[in-house]
């Protein structure tokens, strides 16, 4: 109950009931704060995911670039090659895939049995594995198998 402090002779001022109580304002601000926090967390999560995807894309592009260089200058007989490109480190490993020996005819009369036939045109299967490491320690490994001639870098058939 409210004490009525009415002074005689003066008209009573009307009580203004329009507006919000302090409790209603605090509840509204709390709800607004929760909604804003959820929105900011969603935005921050999206930005983190975008940053992760950009770093992953950089690794994929570097691996693809090195794979393309295999045909130009990295496909030689060296088993392991590595290097850096900007802040990315890469490593290329080359392994010849063993194949079953073909049935060879016995040497002709007068031919030296210990002498290898000309291997220059022999076709071999080679596994290439490229590993790229980013500045944050994240790695990506990509592999391919190529058909090569025994002598050089050019593809025999693909």
Query: pLDDT grade, residue 157 (50/70/90)?
Result: very low
Domain contains 3: no
Is the pLDDT reported for residue 106 higher than 50?
A: yes
Q: Give the Cβ contact number of residue 58 at 10 Å.
A: 18
Domain contains 97: yes
Total domains present in the chain = 1
Q: Could you tell me the residue range of the domain that residue 81 belongs to?
A: 22-101+120-149
Domain contains 36: yes
Q: What pLDDT sits at residue 53?
A: 92
Q: What pLDDT sits at residue 10?
A: 72
Domain contains 1: no
Helix (H) or strand (E) holding 19: none
Beta bridge partners of 94: 128
Helix (H) or strand (E) holding 100: none
Domain contains 74: yes
DSSP-assigned states of every residue in 23-69: HHHHHHHHHHHHHHHHHHHHHHHHHHHHHHHHHHHHHHHHHHHHHHH
Is the pLDDT reported for residue 115 higher than 70?
A: no
For 81, residues 6+ apart whose C-beta sits below 8 A from its C-beta are 74, 91, 92, 94
For 124, residues 6+ apart whose C-beta sits below 8 A from its C-beta are 96, 97, 99, 147, 148, 149, 150
Q: What pLDDT sits at residue 158?
A: 39
CATH number at residue 69: 2.20.25.110
Domain contains 144: yes
By CB neighbour count within 10 A (0-12 exposed, 13-18 middle, 19+ buried), where does 130 fall?
Answer: buried
Domain contains 112: no
Domain contains 56: yes
Q: What pLDDT sits at residue 86?
A: 86
Q: What is the pLDDT of residues 6-58, one digit of tens each?
A: 566 677 766 667 788 999 999 999 999 999 999 999 999 999 999 999 989 98
Tokens representing residue 126 in the block:
């080679």
């Amino acid at each position: 109950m409210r004490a009525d402090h009415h002074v005689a002779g003066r008209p009573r001022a009307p009580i203004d009931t329009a507006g919000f109580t302090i409790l209603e304002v605090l509840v509204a601000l709390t709800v607004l704060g929760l909604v804003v926090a959820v929105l900011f967390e969603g935005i921050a999560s999206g930005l983190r995911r975008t940053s992760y995807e950009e770093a992953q894309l950089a690794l994929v592009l570097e691996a693809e670039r090195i794979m393309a260089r295999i045909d130009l200058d990295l496909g030689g007989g060296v088993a392991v090659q590595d290097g850096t490109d900007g802040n990315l480190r890469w490593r290329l490993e080359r392994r010849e895939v063993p194949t079953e020996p073909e049935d060879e005819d016995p040497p002709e009369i007068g031919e030296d049995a210990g002498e290898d036939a000309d291997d220059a045109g022999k076709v071999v299967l080679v596994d290439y594995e490229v590993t790229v490491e980013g500045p944050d320690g994240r790695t990506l490994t990509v592999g391919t198998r190529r058909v090569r001639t025994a002598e050089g870098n050019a593809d025999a058939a693909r």
